[in-house]
Amino acid sequence: MWKEDVIDLKITRFFEYSARVMLSLLIVAILCTVLAGICWTFYDLRLVFRQDIQVAIRALLVDMLTVLAVVEVFRTALAYFTEGRVKVTYIIDTVMVTVLTEVMAFWYKDMEWEELGMVIALVLSLALIRIFAVRFSPRRFREEL
């Protein structure tokens, strides 16, 4: 029995070490993506002088919100790296920022009322899930005990 415990412990350590190495590579990739997004946003500043101001501002807003969505993914990866688990609130924040980015992309386009209703329902349901995730978090239950 003792020999099986040692083997299980070695497998667990190998898995944890491998996960940390892959997550470290993922964090580097995310940081490179954030840097590229920031550079692209500054590159799109040229649109202010070349195109209609509404088109330029919409492009810049979408660029900035996309970078913020990637930052939320980075935050999720760091939370897993430090705590060993993924927080649901971080994932919901990432999805909400991404959905709002899509809403901003269609800001100046005509949308059917059904599509608009679905987007509103999605954002409201994500907000509700986020409230429940904070209200009923495992950390909060541990603090109450």
Residue 33 pLDDT grade (very low, low, confident, very high; cuts 50, 70, 90)? very high
Higher pLDDT, 79 or 142: 79
Cα 77 to Cα 84: distance, rounded to the nearest angstrom: 10
pTM: 0.70
pLDDT, tens digit, 9 for 90 and up, residues 35-47: 999 999 999 999 9
Residue 29 pLDDT grade (very low, low, confident, very high; cuts 50, 70, 90)? very high
Q: Where exactly are the structural domains of the chain?
A: 2-136
pLDDT above 90: residue 109: no
- For tokens 């386009």, the residue is 109
pLDDT, tens digit, 9 for 90 and up, residues 81-106: 787 777 778 888 888 888 877 777 67
Residue 7 sits at φ, ψ, to 5 deg, of -65, -45
Q: What is the pLDDT of residue 12?
A: 86
pLDDT above 60: residue 1: no
Nearest to 89 by CA among 124, 125, 119, 131: 131
Over residues 117-144, the mean pLDDT reads 80
**Residue 86 and residue 80 in contact, taking contact as beta carbons nearer than 8 Å:** yes
Residue 59 pLDDT grade (very low, low, confident, very high; cuts 50, 70, 90)? confident
Q: What is the pLDDT of residue 40?
A: 95
- For tokens 């329902």, the residue is 121
Mean pLDDT, the chain, integer: 83
